[in-house]
A and B are shown apart, each in its own frame.
Chain A
Amino acid sequence: MLKTGFMMKALPGLMAVAAAGGLVSTLASGAASAASFKGQTLTIAFQVYGGGNQNTIWLTAVKKQFLKMYPGVNVTFVPINASENQYYTKLDLMQQSPRTAPDICVEDTFLVNSDASAGYLLPLNKFVNQWPAWKKEFYPPMQKAAEATNGTVYGVPFNTDTRGIYYDMPMFRKLGVKVPWQPHSWADVLRMAHLIKSKEPGVVPLWFMSGKPMGEASTMQGFEMLLYGTHNTLYDNRTGKWIVQSPGFLDSLQFVRTIFTQGLAEPLQDALTPQSSVIATQQLMPQQKVGMLLDGVWEYSNWLPTGGHPWPQWHSVYGVAKMPKQNGGGYTSLSGGWTLSISSKTKHAQLAWDFIKLATDRNNMLKIDLLDGNVTPRRDVAAMPAYKKAGQGMLAQFAAFNSFTQFRPAYAQYPTISNDIQTAMENVMTNSATPQQAMQQYARAVTTYVGAKHVESAR
């Protein structure tokens, strides 16, 4: 309270100046002063799941600052308690009607194109163009992630992420493996998994997100981490077509089949549940029952004091390695991230923008990026000492994967195609289909969805 005392005293004065001098210019320029927002209510929708309250903590802090700047304004939180896939569905259902659409929502970058083309999101170009930090501080690849294909901006990214392999360092040492460990091909990873399986009963050798219940996490942390390490991809940027059949796709499915049918991955009942990553990170990893986990940078935030399962010793146990390409010759990672976006149905666009601007300024951005253990999209945040030593240096290690990371082809059709990938994975891991059959089913589903003119096969 001592600290805020000054602000409290200074604010009414500032307000008076703003009110006296601002009224004429407000009417003339169209820029609104704080007073004109009195009585307005902003609603903000975000996901809460698995015991972590990072978004709530961050937005609550921002709300407090915001209400001081805009007295008489209401900010209402709409926390959606759902797994990732269900969160997207719920959000899209809310976006359909002006009565339920939140003014601001926390939006996954992979849905930006899709939701923008659905007309749910407000273009933010006129706002970001007048915001010096946008040009100066935000990394261009992250700005791209929040844009539609035509360059329209639909959100301000507040985090990005990379993916790699968490591994149990004491266990590896015990098995006679030199730490830090770095595999150079899929075969190295599989060899390690076999070693863990034979020497450490009761331990899941390689925890791998796969199948429908885990939603986009299966596609991105699982399948695409394989596929983008082959010489194939999901989408051909040159021809603008979806690649529905390729050797890389087949090999990736074969990898999924190998680990799930040879007992190298988690048991099916722990994979085919929306709880899969919670089981891994909050239950089994703190007991050192997981040898390797292929997942994103944010997972260590589960073990921070603000996470779902605080575990102070985590950094002496889990290290991180780069995911190798299929046959060596480099590494692979994928990046996504989240944005704050404004609903096209909002009646308080300016106020919503002011909130977003505050929430993604240097200090508030640092707060959320440290809370959920994610890579920052801002240069000035990356330079802050608190950021550099976050997660005992693990955050910086993951951030370095930026040099070889790739982005999903997040076109409007991507979310549906991603679901078809999850179906293919699940059919392979449960042995309902061979990799070849699963790929053919995938090809058929995508062809039906996007049309035969927009698909191709690759060699």
Chain B
Amino acid sequence: MTTTPATLPRASAQESRTRRRQAARAALFLAPAVVAMTIFFFGPVLWTFYISFTNVALTGPTATHYQFTGLKNFSIMFSSRSFWQAVLVSLYYLAGSALIGQTVLGLLLALLMQRANAAVRAVVGGIVIAAWVIPEIVKAFTWFAFLSQGGTLDNILQWLGLPQPAWLFTQPLLSVIVANTWAGTAFSMMVYSAALSGVPGELVEAARIDGASLWQTLFRVVLPVIKNSIMTNTILITLQTLGDFTLVYAMTGGGPGTQTSVLPVYMYQQAFSFYQLGYGSALSMILLLIGIVASLFYIKLLRVEL
């Protein structure tokens, strides 16, 4: 009995020493990552935040001698027609390709794959994932080659004796939405496949026995169970789509006119074609804000506990 009080402090002292040593070691191992993140990630973010309140430009008198202009960039932005046009195009792009396209198609594919046999699963899964793994610029070029005048689609239509509209000019927004759906569906499919395999079989069976229809089983049983995955997936693809630049820029350059000028393309044009770095940075802040608001909205909507 007398040994306990004596040994306990000693043990805990040793324990805390070990813990401290572990913490120090962890800090040591984390240090390079933290330093790298600070320099290459937080540094630029803070810098962008700062210059979004200035009139810095790429050329002209304000390139080196720029001034703090407060909220001027933002007031210009909110009174600019082309900004609101870009917001609208971004929302169409988001709703069309991410929310309707990727989520619905991804879930549908995941559900069908669950019931399909191994061979079908392998083939379909392979094709869908192949679309996802190729680099973005290659995807963009593939779609450009497919849809541009004299491209693959035109050749097929010609062979069928059908008219060949210049897709990237008559339906530019639809073109990039379809391309982005194609490019991103695999991700949603994989997330949902993983989630669906986690739905207990007896739960679905019990619902069947109680006489639930296929739709009822899906909406009342399966989807509520995978709610967390839906939210994670929706947030991820929303942020990814909102920030998407390569696919749209390479396919249409934001045009014709401003028809596919999504926010990142608009931002790029303002900063690097029109040389207004400060204004471009202010736009990127707004883009970040929209991403945050959208994420909070999903969390609220799906009533997920984090």
Residues of chain A having any CB pair with chain B under 8 Å: 85, 88-89, 92-93, 96, 111, 114-115, 117-120, 211-213, 215, 267-269, 272-273, 412-413, 415-416, 419-420, 423, 426-427, 430, 432, 441, 448
Contact = CB atoms under 8 A, between A and B. Distances in A.
B253 interface: yes
B60 A413 contact: yes
Interface stretch (B9-17, B268-276, B286-294): B268-276
Most B CB contacts (10 A, CB to CB) among A118, A412, A432 go to A118
B218 interface: no
Given A268-B169, A269-B166, A89 B273 contact: yes
Given A268-B169, A269-B169, A430 B255 contact: yes
Nearest to A433: B257
Most A CB contacts (10 A, CB to CB) among B80, B259, B269, B275 go to B275
A273 B254 CA distance: 11
A415 B60 contact: yes
B272 A89 contact: yes
B149 interface: yes
Interface string B246-287: 000000010111110000000001001111100000000000
Given A272-B253, A415-B275, A92 B58 contact: yes
Contacts of B269: 212
Nearest to B64: A119
23 contacts: A92-B59, A92-B275, A111-B59, A114-B60, A117-B60, A118-B61, A118-B63, A119-B63, A119-B64, A120-B59, A211-B256, A267-B166, A269-B149, A269-B168, A272-B169, A412-B61, A413-B60, A415-B60, A419-B273, A419-B274, A430-B256, A430-B259, A432-B257
B300 interface: no
B81 interface: yes
B228 interface: no
Query: Looking at chain A's contact residues, is the secondary structure mostly helix, strand, loop, or mixed?
Result: helix
B148 interface: yes
Contacts of B274: 416, 419-420
Contact of A211 (B63, B81, B149, B255): B255
A272 B64 contact: no
Contacts, number: 87
Query: Looking at chain B's contact residues, is the secondary structure mostly helix, strand, loop, or mixed?
Result: loop
B34 interface: no
A273 B148 CA distance: 12
Given A267-B149, A426-B255, 15 more contacts: A85-B273, A92-B58, A93-B58, A114-B59, A114-B60, A118-B58, A118-B63, A268-B256, A269-B148, A272-B169, A272-B253, A416-B57, A419-B274, A430-B257, A430-B259
Contacts of B258: 427, 432
B45 interface: no
A212 B272 CA distance: 13
B276 A212 contact: no
Given A85-B273, A269-B169, A419-B273, A441 B81 contact: yes
Most B CB contacts (10 A, CB to CB) among A115, A269, A426, A441 go to A269
Contacts of B58: 89, 92-93, 118
Nearest to A89: B272
Interface string B81-123: 1100000000000000000000000000000000000000000
A88 B273 CA distance: 9
A383 B276 CA distance: 44
Nearest to B255: A272
Nearest to B62: A118
A325 B26 CA distance: 76
B154 to A, nearest CB: 12
Nearest to B258: A432
A269 B150 CA distance: 11
B31 interface: no
Contacts of A420: 274
B76 interface: yes
Closest 4 CB pairs of A and B: A118-B63, A430-B257, A432-B257, A117-B61
B43 to A, nearest CB: 15
Given A118-B64, A269-B166, A426 B256 contact: yes
A120 B273 contact: no
Contacts of B59: 88, 92, 111, 114-115, 118, 120, 412, 415
Interface string B149-171: 10000000000000000101100
A212 B58 CA distance: 18
A175 B61 CA distance: 53
Contacts of B148: 269
A80 to B, nearest CB: 14
A339 B57 CA distance: 23
A268 to B, nearest CB: 5
Contacts of A213: 253, 255
B159 to A, nearest CB: 21
Interface in B65-86: 65, 76, 80-82
Nearest to A432: B257
Nearest to B167: A269
Contacts of B64: 118-119
Contacts of A92: 58-59, 63, 275
A439 to B, nearest CB: 14
Interface in B34-66: 57-61, 63-65
A303 to B, nearest CB: 24
A416 to B, nearest CB: 6
B146 to A, nearest CB: 14
Contacts of A268: 166, 169, 256
A91 to B, nearest CB: 9
A449 to B, nearest CB: 8
B280 to A, nearest CB: 12
A118 B256 CA distance: 32
A416 B60 contact: yes
